[in-house]
């Protein structure tokens, strides 16, 4: 397979993974107004749990230490990964969503992110510390027996199916009365409460579902790249997703999709393979981060609603005839 085809299929998988992540973030931030500044942590938890469920018992040969090691197939590992991300989301929600205002909630999420990051990074017994886990088998390839190149095409299809299903669900939630109530809470949670909405419970739903999206995305990525270490989910990665959502358009799932394509895929991943500048290998990543930061500021300053702004809800097939028009017939 020509390298360019391999490169493109890889980018497509990344695009799907980031689309799922950005939809989850859009549910939390764009729809419910929850400022989760450690969204990437839930992504990582999903990835790690998927990895350690698929890997066999750690042994001297692999030279890794990690929990579980169950040697189970990918579907179960994915469920465990998504579930773990959801449970962590629930725990953070229990602490942060009941009483705290959105700005304090943001601080709690940052703190939780720092705790989890240090715990995983330093404690080698959980997910092998800073070295991370590696050698995770390709999902379903024990049955398919494909060569790595052909397998990439299979994986495009696999992640594509997930993207379609999760995308459909994201759109449905946004357009549903549930989505409407979440947006009402985002606009003014006192008013929503005054109309009988249990704002805590609703925000918790958005928190947990959003984290499950992150967990599934992390799971799918680990299945593809077969490894995960703390370097891959530093705090900056969350801001990459915020940049994607804000550029695309918060509160708009098409905007989230567009942002996932423009920022993490087109800009971030595509520039990752630029030839390094001689003697200054650190220059490209550094400049890339600076540009993402500048992009974030630029969007917030010039077009805070994003490229595809949130749209007004449309109701089709309205039968109602206003009284004045009835009177006009007379």
C-beta of 46: minimal distance to other proteins in Å? 19
What is the DSSP code (8-state) at residue 247? Answer: H
Which parts of this chain interact with other proteins (CB under 8 A)?
169, 172-173, 175-181, 183-184, 186-188, 190-199, 202, 205, 209, 251, 310, 312-313, 315, 317-320, 322-324
CB nearer to other proteins: give 57 or 172: 172
- Contact partners, residue 127, CB within 8 Å, separation at least 6: 48, 51, 52, 66, 67, 120, 133, 228
CB nearer to other proteins: give 280 or 316: 316
CA–CA distance, 29 with 10 (Å, rounded to integer): 28
C-beta of 77: minimal distance to other proteins in Å? 22
C-beta of 173: minimal distance to other proteins in Å? 5
Backbone CA torsion sign across 93, 215, 231, 271: negative
Q: What angle separates helix 102-122 from helix 74-96, to the nearest 10 degrees?
A: 130
CB nearer to other proteins: give 280 or 312: 312
C-beta of 317: minimal distance to other proteins in Å? 8
CB nearer to other proteins: give 118 or 175: 175
C-beta of 171: minimal distance to other proteins in Å? 9
CB nearer to other proteins: give 286 or 313: 313
- Contact partners, residue 49, CB within 8 Å, separation at least 6: 68, 77, 80, 81, 83, 84, 85, 215, 219
Tell me if 146 sits within 8 A of 154, measured CB to CB.
yes
């Amino acid at each position: 397979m020509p390298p360019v085809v391999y490169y493109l299929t890889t980018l497509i998988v990344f695009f799907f993974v980031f689309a799922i992540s950005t939809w989850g973030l859009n549910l939390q931030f764009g729809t419910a107004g929850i400022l989760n500044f450690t969204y990437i942590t839930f992504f990582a938890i999903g990835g790690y749990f998927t990895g350690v469920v698929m890997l066999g018992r750690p042994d001297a040969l692999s030279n890794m230490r990690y929990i579980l090691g169950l040697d189970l197939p990918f579907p179960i590992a994915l469920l465990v990964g998504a579930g773990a991300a959801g449970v962590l989301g629930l725990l953070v929600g229990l602490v942060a969503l009941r009483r705290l205002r959105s700005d304090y909630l943001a601080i709690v999420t940052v703190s939780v992110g720092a705790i989890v990051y240090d715990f995983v990074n330093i404690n080698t017994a959980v997910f092998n510390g800073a070295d991370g886990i590696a050698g995770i088998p390709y999902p379903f390839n024990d049955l398919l027996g494909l060569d790595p190149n052909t397998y990439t095409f299979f994986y495009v299809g696999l992640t594509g199916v997930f993207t379609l299903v999760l995308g459909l669900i994201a759109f449905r939630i946004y357009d549903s009365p549930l989505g409407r109530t979440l947006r009402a809470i985002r606009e003014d949670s006192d008013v929503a409460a005054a109309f009988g909405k249990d704002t805590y419970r609703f925000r918790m739903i958005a928190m947990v579902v959003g984290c499950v999206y992150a967990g599934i995305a992390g799971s799918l990525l680990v299945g593809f790249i077969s490894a995960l270490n703390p370097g891959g989910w530093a705090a900056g990665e969350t801001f990459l997703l915020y940049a994607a959502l804000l550029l695309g358009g918060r509160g708009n799932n098409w905007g989230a999709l567009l942002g996932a394509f423009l920022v993490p895929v087109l800009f971030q991943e595509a520039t990752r393979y630029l030839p390094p500048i001689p003697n200054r290998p650190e220059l490209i990543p550094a400049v890339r981060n600076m540009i993402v930061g500048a992009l974030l500021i630029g969007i917030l300053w010039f077009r805070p609603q994003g490229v595809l702004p949130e749209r007004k809800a449309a109701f089709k097939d309205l039968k109602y005839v206003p009284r004045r028009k009835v009177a006009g017939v007379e």
